[in-house]
Structures are given as structure tokens and as C-alpha cells.
Structure 1
């Protein structure tokens, strides 16, 4: 028996055992969300930012968001075609594409938003070459790991925690949203993940733009709380790919799941990301496109190739 099959059998058995050991929920009051604060260096005098914002798709779950003077990098992954990432338990995955930009081509970054710590979301290049003083907003577990490898400004959030960011007169609130990387016991073998809601502007009751980033989640009941807490999402970035570990365990949304999440969150526009870049991604973008068409949601979806940019305008509320 090869090591791959032995590992697969071990993971299957572990998952079966853990799935029977997941504790049942108890009716306790949820913890009060933590509120953190981050003050960024005020921009130098110069041309003020324009009214519109942009999302540039770099590849996999990596995007650049520019809006109201903020420049945000998500899930930095800059490996090239043919290079491998390590996903734990001896499992690797080969990159099938190149990023639209190299790490050295990035503009000055205000903060990194990281859904979880996996090599295909924070690769070895980012670990080695990103400025160790750059603020990183992520899960509590990922924040601690990043501290251990030298990053000095990490901000760990649990679900519904938030961080208020200031840069001169600009304001941004990032709230951690639910995410689950695997079903039942399988999630215990994977790092915790978070989605994120980004509210831009000083008026949180009527943000100038509300963006939701799903993170590497599957569909589960906790996601239904997102539109209750954060209605009127202007733009959703959906992590798709139908990632399957050992070819068996689905740990990210496939095309059908992506449509289900759109129907839950009901964004005005949605952009699919995190697809077709690694050999563990088993649900191609065409799956999502077909499901979108069948659901009659074509007008709500924007498809970006690597390097493409989507421009958005302030919301009218």
C-alpha cells in the first residue's frame, strides 16, 4: 500500500472518529464580539482618492482592493505554475497558473486580510518577503502562527469580532464572518477559517460600500446570519474551486455551492475567485457559470480573468 493510500485511510478513519465526537451545542449566550482598532499612517499630501473603488484579481484567492485611500491585499499567493504548496499531512498541490502580478510588483499595502493559514493562501514567498510590520487581519490561530514566524502586527478575530481601521479621514470596519473549511470531523483536521465583511465609510449604518469575502467555507447554517447582521451587500467575493483533499473530501465551495451562497447573502454583484489555479481544485469556473445561468443570476456576476479589474461606485442607501 502506497503512503498516499495509507494517509488517505488514516484521514478517513480519523474523520469518522472525530465526527462522532463533535460536541452538541449548548444554549449559552454568545460571547460579546471584540472590537479592535488599527490606525494606519495618514497618506502624504497629494491627489485625494477618487470616488470609485477597484478589485483586481491576481489569482487563486489573491486580490487587490483599492477604495477611499485604502489598499488591501487578500490571501497572498504568488507562487508560479509548476510550484507546489503544502496543505498538511504530507499533502501537496501543484499550481497550474501564474499570478497576474509578482510580489515585487505590488503597490504599497495598508493591510493584508487573510482568511486562514494555508500555503495556498499565504505562501512561502509571502512568509519570506512581505514586510514583517505590515498589519494582517486574520483568525486568532493564524495570527499566533504569523507571530511565531516574525510578523509583528497581527490582529486575530473570532466570528463577529471586528476591527476599526483609520487612515487619515478614511474609515473601514472589518468584521469576521462565519466560515467552515470541512464537514463534521473533517473541519477539526483543517485550520479555522473566516469570512469577512468590509464596511467602508464613517457611517456604519449606511456604509459607502459593503463587501463580503467568503473565505474557504462550505455551505452551513451559520452563514444565514450574515444577511441578518449585514444586509445590502454590494459586492461578494466567492472562494470556489470545489477543493478536494485526497480527491475525496470537499473543503471549498463548488459551483452549485457558490450559487447557494449568493442566494443566502444576496449581494448586488458577485465575483468568483479561488478556482482553476491548483490541481486540488476539482470544480472549474465553468461549473459556477452553468449554475449561475440556470439560476438566472447572470446579471449579478462579474467574471474576471487573472489581472482583470472590476470598478465599483459608492452605494446609494
Structure 2
């Protein structure tokens, strides 16, 4: 029985999480460099970098964790590759759309609600966390987005608490995540400083450092920062801002690299 936890970075926000006996695929996008994705309201973006691997090369996931339904998080290549009976955990808004597109096992979680799986004495719980994709009223024009808390237990003992931010902007009220959920062991943080029409739609380096300082995870792995043309804030912005604030535990992860998510001591 496996009691290891790892993450493999595929590209953009796509990762493969192996938490004991459970395997999750996050925000699947497998289109090659040069492919275009639709972002809504007539806006498109071109992919600049190939994913590290294709869907058939990955271990078969038990479920997909989808932070929101945007073209760079669930692209055409992913929709073709992922079986229609694959469970997908996402926002209620995305659930309604995906069920119309053949993915009938999609579960939509309102903020702070959870979905659980149990197998071989292990538990995986996914709780939907708050997130905002745009500033002010602009957020209402964009797809609903959620962060996710993944809690993995073995024989009733907590092994790991992982926060996947999703495409949220930094807001001070995200402090509620740590207040309600407790210490976060690891965080996958979505960065990139995505801009459309001059509006910031994902965290840039400064906002990413703000959130890292707010949540204070033991390990932070930055993703979602250079795959598409709309991303304007390179990884170096975030790493520099973290160094200026003496934030510990920040570790870049390369495409195709697998990193161990160290369980709680």
C-alpha cells in the first residue's frame, strides 16, 4: 500500500498528483506549442511551450480537479483524450457546462463544500476554497474559479494538506483559508500575471509573494506562469519578491519533474 505523495508538473496548471493510493490530474491542457485556446469574449491566446507529456503517458487518474473552465485549463486536446466517465471535481458553474458536453460524472462544489474518496484505509478529501479571477465587477464576466484543499489521511492520521490556488488574484480575505483549514503543508500556486485589455487576471510576482506570506506553507511550488502569450509576469518576478521578503520553502519545479510532497512529521 502506497504512503507516498508526489506531484509531477506537466505544464501550465496541469499536474499529476499521486497521494498514496489516489491519483489526480489537475487542470488538463495537452495542446502543443502553437495551438490556440479560447478565453471568452472574442479573446484567444497561443500556447508557447509544449506540455512535458501527453495524457496517454500519464498514470491513469482517479479523477480530474478543474479549478475553472477556461481554454488553457481544459483544452480541446484534453477534452478529446479524457474519457467521458472520468469523475471531474470543479465549480458548480463548470459542472453545468461539462455535463452538457458528455462529462456526466462532474461534481460541482460550492465554496467550503467537500468531496471524499476512501480506499484501502486511506482518505482523500477535496474542499472548494474561495478565489476571484478578476478585479471588481470584471470577476462576474469571467468563469467562476475555485481553489482546492486536498487532505490525505492514512488510517485516520493526516499525512498531507495541499492547497491548489487556482487562477485567483490575491485578496487579504484569503487569510480565511489558513484560519479555517489550519497549517498548509504544500501549495501549488498559479502565477503568470495574466493580462487581457490591461486587466490583471492571475497573480503576478508581487501578488504571489503576498499570498505565500499570508498562507505560509512549508513548501510552495510555482506553476502557471509562461505557457501562454497572455502571461506577462515571469517566474523570476515571483522568486525575486519571495527573496526580498525572506519567504522560505519556495521551490521551482521543472516540466516533467516529479517532486515529493513531504508528509507531516
Q: TM-score, normalised by structure 2?
A: 0.97
Which is higher, the Rg of structure 1 or of structure 2? 1
Distance 2:182 2:155 in 1: 15
Give the CA deviation at 1:53: 1.2
Quote the RMSD (CA, aligned, Å). Answer: 1.2
Residue 178 of structure 2: aligned partner: 227
Aligned residues: 265
The answer on 1:154 being equivalent to 2:106 is: yes
Matching residue of 1:305: 254
Aligned to 1:104: 56
- Do 1:200 and 1:207's aligned partners in 2 also have CA atoms closer than 8 Å? yes
> What is the CA–CA distance in structure 1 between the aligned matches of 2:104 and 2:152, rounded to whole Å?
25
Residue 84 of structure 2 corresponds to 132
Q: Distance in 2 between matches of 1:314 and 1:267?
A: 13
Q: Tell me which stretches of 4 or more aligned residues in structure 1 moved more than 4 Å.
A: none
Correspondence 1:20-59 to 2 at 5 A: 48-49=1-2, 51-59=3-11
Q: Give the whole-Å Cα distance in 2 for the aligned partners of 1:93 and 1:104.
A: 25
Residue 91 of structure 1: how far off its partner (Å): 0.5
- TM-aligned CA deviation for residue 310 of structure 1: 0.8
Structure-to-structure mapping, 1:1-317, within 5 angstroms: 48-49=1-2, 51-201=3-153, 207-246=158-197, 248-297=198-247, 299-316=248-265
The question of whether the paired residues in 1 share the 8 Å contact of 2:122 and 2:155 is answered with: no
Runs (5+) with no aligned partner, structure 1: 1-47
Rounded to whole Å, the distance in 1 between the matches of 2:119 and 2:74 is 25
Aligned residues of 1:172 and 1:202 also touching (Cα < 8 A) = no
Rounded Cα–Cα distance in structure 1 between residues aligned with 2:85 and 2:122 = 21
Q: Note the C-alpha offset of 1:158.
A: 0.9
Shift of residue 203 of structure 1?
A: 7.1
What secondary structure is seen at the aligned counterpart in 2 of 1:144?
helix
CA displacement 1:14-64 (0-9 Å, x = unmatched): xxxxxxxxxxxxxxxxxxxxxxxxxxxxxxxxxx21x32111110000001
Q: Distance in 2 between matches of 1:135 and 1:162?
A: 14
**Aligned partners of 2:175, 2:19: CA distance in 1, in Å?**
27
